[in-house]
Structure formats: structure tokens, C-alpha cells
Chains A and B, each alone.
Chain A
Amino acid sequence: MSDVVIQIENLSKMYRLGSIGTGSLRQDVQRWWTKTVRRQADPFFHLDAVGQSGQTLWALRNVNFEVKQGEVWGIVGSNGAGKSTLLKIVSRIVRPTQGIIRGRGRVSSLLEVGTGFQGDLSGRENIFLSGYILGMSKAEIRTKFEEIVEFSGVAKFLDTPVKRYSSGMYVRLAFAVAAHLEPDILILDEVLSVGDADFQKKCLGKMREVSRSAGRTILFVSHSMQAVANLCDKGVWLQQGQIKEIGEVTHVVNRYLSTAQHLKLTQTWATPDEGPGNERIRFRRVALVPQLAHADDPLDIRTPLTVQFEFWNLGPATVISVNLVLFSYGGECIFDVPSPATLFQSGLVAGECTIPGNFLNDGSYYISLYVVKDTTTSLYDLEECLAFDLADYRGEIKWYGKWWGSVRPLLPFSLRQS
């Protein structure tokens, strides 16, 4: 007896790039006239800048895998990797271009929180409407109604139109309905990114309970690797529509984090002519060396990072110092650390600085190096020469919201009974 509930075979989905459909009937008729009747080139076809490889984009390409009864799968990958497309096809919202999916049991999908909610209707009416849209029957909603209301915590406002709800209440009510769905297969897309910490914990708990006790199969997309690692047993890493890695979730998540981070960890220039700089300074090498126990480990907030750089001093002997400036991906300066100022003859100068582990918060960062003469005059600014991502690590902490702050230093901190 095979317990495979979803079988995905050779699944591909192609999207056309460029403006194919013109969106106006007059132009479409004109196009049909030129293309089909007069057999000339399409007058409205413009190739998008991104579509150099052709006129099409394969959002998914030859994806194969099988999901067994009761498994919880996490689907990871960068933006545009095809995760949502995969979920949309499994949920029957769009059709694949090629391939076939076979399955057993009732599928419910939650690709958005609050699907089918109507602002003008009351909470009570929306529970029913949203439940129907997600495929529940009236009897099912009736029996779960109390539970849903309790879970959402909006009992007092049940007869208020949801447009007057705070966004938190809205989301809680919407998720509460979805959390009480009882399909055989549940499909979830990034639903935990909303709501406050408390509610997220409740949702994750609910999902875990559902998958463990009721043996429900779940496909789950999230950008929170913590949530994926915690909730799922199996993982798929999609990259540009193809499966890059598949298997046990910890393995997939680690592989994804260590390679999918968009890093610019090292840059080298062979001769002074090639390196960035000016008549005074030419860079030879910049590198970010993470101090990892295993080469495969992802860079996370615990990893100490060493910045190494070398440049040629092309001018005369000068008192030189270098400022290492770290920016968040949004361009906000996190810190600006100067080196000691030292007198250097012309020739190669090397420097090194270590950013300790357990200091930065998770996120994307970039580094600029500013070379300064006599601690006053700028000689050369090497902007954005290194970029890196730090993955999150929370150990025992079971909260999955975005951690606040630019830094997350490990400070001596104690609590005791007094």
C-alpha cells in the first residue's frame, strides 16, 4: 500500500515575458490582422529587458517529487524561484505548462491571509464566507465556530464589520478560520509573516498539532528558515524553477543558507591598473573570511567575520588609516570603525579587522572601506566592496517574528529569583 498523497511528475510552468497580450481589444485585433492576415512581425511585441534568454521564463522546470501521507514539507528558495507557482499549481489555481500532478484527498490552500474577506461584513459573516471559499461546509463551520472565535480572540467584535478591525484582529480572525480547516492536504504560503509574536506562536503550535496528531500533509513556503526547520520534516530548495536540493529539512535548509546567500565575499585584482582606486591608492584584494567550523555551515549571527584587504600606496610615504564602514542593506550605517593611523612607504599595505560573532542582527549587510590620509583627508573610498547575509539563529527561543534592531549583541544578562 503506497501512502503517497501527492505525486509531482515532470512539472513545468512557462510564463511569457514582454507584453504579449496588449490589454486592449483594438490592439489585439490589429495584431491579429498584421500577424495572421498580412503575415508580418508582431507590432506590439516588446521583449522585456530581463528576458534576454528568450521570450519565455520557466517559473518551474521539470520538478519531480512525491509527498507521503502526514509529511510536512518546507519549500525554500529565493524570490522568483518558483515556490509560489508550485503552490498555485498544486492548489489548482493555475495550470502547468507540462507535467502532471496526481493526488489523493481534499486540498485546501491558504496563499493569502483573509482570502475572500469582505470589509463591509461582520466578523461572524466573514467566518462563514471565508470558510465556504476555503471549501468548508456549513455544518463544519458551525461545529468549529466557537473554537474559531476563541482562537482568534475577537469574540467581542463578532458583529462589527471587519473593516473597522485593527489589522492585527483582521489577520487573527482570517488565520483562525484557515487554521480550522480540515483538509487532507494543507498548502500554506508565507502566512506567518503577519501577526504579532504571540499569535505566530499560536499558529505554529496549531499547525504542528494539526500535522502531528491528525496526520495531515502540509506544504509550507516561508522565508523564515527557523519556522521551516522547526515545523517541517522534509524540504525542497527551488532555484530558478528547478530542484536544487531535496531531502531532510535540516540538510536542505543548511545547504540553502550557506549557498543561496547573495554574497560578495572576495574580490581580487592582479595589477594596480585593474584595481579600483586613483593615482594614490589602488586596491588589490578585499575579502570577508567567515570563521566557520565547517565550510558548509551557513553564515549566521554567531559567525565571526574577518575582513581582509590589501592596497597599493602609489604615492609617497603617507600616514594612512582605513575606516571600515558597515551598512545595513537598506543603506543605514551600523558602524564606522577606524584603524590606527600609521606611516607607510609606497608599496603594498595589508589590513585585517574582525567583526565578532553574536554581535550583528540577522539581515543583509555591505561594507565600504575608506582610505584616509593624516586622519583628515580622504584618499579613496571603496564603496560596497563586500556584501553578505547573516542568517538567523535563535537556539531555544521559539518566537519567529523579525528580530528588532541593527545589532543583537550577546551581553551578560542574568535573571534570578530574589
Chain B
Amino acid sequence: MSTDRDSESKWDWEIKATSNWWDIGFQEAWTYRHLLLGLVKRDFLLGYQQTVLGPLWTLLQPIMTMLTYVVVFGKVVGINTGHTPAVLFYLAGVILWTLFNDVFTGTSASVRNNINLFGKVYFPRFIVPAAHVVSCLISFGIQFVFLLLILIYYQLFTAWHAPSGNMWLLAVPAVALVGAQSLAWGMLFSVLTGKYRDMTFVVNLGVRLLMFLTPVIYPVQYIAQKWRWVVMLNPLTSAFELFRRALLGEGFVTTWQLLCNGSLTLALTVVALLIFNKQVSRLIDVV
């Protein structure tokens, strides 16, 4: 091109064959913030469309699951939850696991479910998983408040005592770890499920099995010393233990573990975001 150089600098955008790995366009994504909120709203409206109990399900689901766990694993199997009341122990595990499960399965389906939309209109693709995480976090928030209410009840009316001081602040990094990991794995798997339908089954089965490797229904201390390393390999383990440690005062976690886990999660999230961003536009040609 021999046109004057001045005008070339005036281009706002450029579409080329190759994309830069780092070309995520956060600035551009900001202009789509309303879309993100719109999608969150859509998730909520759709989730409870034509239901009788509506948003109440957000609470009913973890409550019913927790009660089942209390009966099956607490009473029948007899898993020892230490000094923590079984109700609190299972409820904390269940809501954190629900967060992981919902973010991960939802995100991993985000390419497959939206490929039509992606093929018709452009917007930064990671808005879709981001919106999903936000709506999951809102549900989690509601459940978390419920957990706090139960916790206060136990504090006031039973001999059990919540951890004192600012321990509860540690729940924030625990939730952040779980959220980031589920989002990162979800984005990686969404690219795979977009391309390979087999992955849908892997995801469903994997999540169900992973729950047993995560201290949801048992504390890490319950596991025999010999096998504990298996559970500790799971990056979710330290986050779950930290969450319980922060709120219930009992949890098996070391600072070193958390630092390792934190930096791993950060790296994983960055890699997943880059891969997602780059691969989705390529998937549109394939699917």
C-alpha cells in the first residue's frame, strides 16, 4: 500500500489472519459490560421461568443436599466431622462445591451452547463465561448468607463457638481460589467440548468423581495418613479446607500449600483465558 502513512494511523481496528496471544481487549470488553449484566439477568430470569418456588430453589437445593449428607455420611456411614456440627460442616462443603460444579459445568458448555450466537455476531467471547461466573457467584452469595445465619444460630444456641477474630476473612481467598479454578478449567474444557462431543461425558463423569477426591463430605483429617497425599494433589482440597478453617475453625491447610495453589491457579487462569480467546474464533470455522 502506498497511501499516505498518516491515514493508516487513523484506523481504529484491523482484522488480520493471525491474532496476537495477548490481544484480549479488556478495554473493548469494558464497552460490553452491559452485555455481561444482561446475560447475568437472563440466566436468572431463565433459571426460574415457569417454576413455582422460583429463586427459593437457590436455597432449597443446598439445604436438601446437606440434609441428605448429614443423614447418609454423618449418621449412616458415621464420618467424624471433629468438633464441628455436621450440619455446618456439610452445608459449608455443599455450597462451595455447588459453586465449583455450577461454574465448571456451565462454563465448559459455553462454547457449545453459544456457537450459533458466536457465528452471527461479534463480542468479546469471554463475556459469556464471565457472565456465568458472576451469576454463580450471586447464587453462592445468597447461600453464603444462609450459611452465616445457621452459623449464628449455632453460636447463640449451642455450645459450639465460631472462630474468633478476623479468621472469616480467609473465606474470601478460598472462594476466589475455587471460582478461578472452576472458571479456568471450564474455559479449557469448553474449547474441548466445542470440538469433541465426547468431552461432554468426560466433564459430567469427571465432576461427579472429583467430588469424592475433594473434602466435601469428609474432612482431610478423616483420611488415613497413607492416602492423604492423593487428596492433597487435588488443587481444590486446600481451598475447601481453608474455607472451613475460616468459618468453622477446623481445617487442614498450610500457608505453603496455599501459596503454591494460589500461584498455580493464577497461571492456569491466564493460560485458560488466552487459549479460550484464541481458539473460539477458530472453532466457529470448524463447528
Contacts and interface: CB of A to CB of B under 8 A. Distances in A.
B45 A94 contact: no
B227 interface: no
Interface in B211-227: none
Nearest to A189: B120
Tier of interface size on chain A:
35 or more
B286 A111 contact: no
Given A93-B120, A93-B284, A135-B123, A125 B12 contact: no
B198 A116 contact: no
Interface stretch (B13-21, B98-106, B228-236): B13-21
B121 A116 contact: yes
A118 B38 CA distance: 12
A94 B119 CA distance: 8
Interface in B60-96: none
A112 B12 contact: no
B11 interface: yes
Interface stretch (A99-107, A286-294, A382-390): A99-107
B161 interface: no
Contacts of A2: 3-4, 7
B202 to A, nearest CB: 8
B15 A21 contact: no
A91 B118 CA distance: 11
Nearest to B15: A101
B198 A93 contact: no
Given A2-B3, A21-B286, A121-B45, A104 B12 contact: yes
A94 B284 contact: yes
Interface residues of B, number: 45
Interface stretch (A22-30, A145-153, A217-225): A22-30
Contact of A25 (B18, B39, B196): B196
Given A99-B17, A101-B15, A121-B42, A112 B120 contact: yes
A258 B228 CA distance: 79
Contact of B38 (A24, A25, A100, A128): A128
B24 interface: no
A28 B196 CA distance: 9
Contacts of B117: 115-116, 133
Interface string A59-103: 000000000000000000000000000001111111111111111
Contacts of A342: none
Given A116-B121, A121-B45, A89 B286 contact: no
B122 interface: yes
A159 interface: no
A95 B121 contact: no
B1 interface: yes
A280 B286 CA distance: 56
Contact of B15 (A89, A115, A128): A89
A238 interface: no
A100 B39 CA distance: 32
Contact of A125 (B45, B119, B122, B286): B45
A91 B13 CA distance: 11
Contacts of A137: 31, 34
Interface string B18-51: 1100000000000110110011011001100110
B14 A102 contact: yes
A133 B128 CA distance: 11
A109 interface: yes
Nearest to B16: A100
B42 A118 contact: yes
A162 interface: no
A54 B32 CA distance: 42
B231 to A, nearest CB: 28
Contact of B122 (A91, A99, A100, A118): A91
Given A4-B7, A24-B196, A115-B121, 4 more contacts: A26-B198, A109-B121, A118-B46, A138-B34
Interface of B: 1, 3-4, 7-8, 10-19, 31-32, 34-35, 38-39, 41-42, 45-46, 49-50, 117-123, 192, 195-199, 281-282, 284-286
Interface of A: 2, 4, 7, 9, 15, 21, 23-26, 28, 88-105, 107, 109, 111-112, 115-116, 118, 120-121, 125, 128-129, 132-138, 161
Nearest 8 pairs of A and B residues by beta carbon: A132-B35, A25-B196, A132-B38, A102-B11, A92-B122, A101-B15, A2-B7, A115-B120
23 contacts: A7-B11, A23-B195, A23-B197, A24-B198, A25-B192, A96-B16, A97-B17, A100-B14, A101-B14, A101-B15, A102-B13, A102-B14, A111-B121, A118-B46, A121-B42, A121-B45, A125-B45, A132-B38, A133-B38, A133-B117, A133-B121, A134-B121, A135-B123
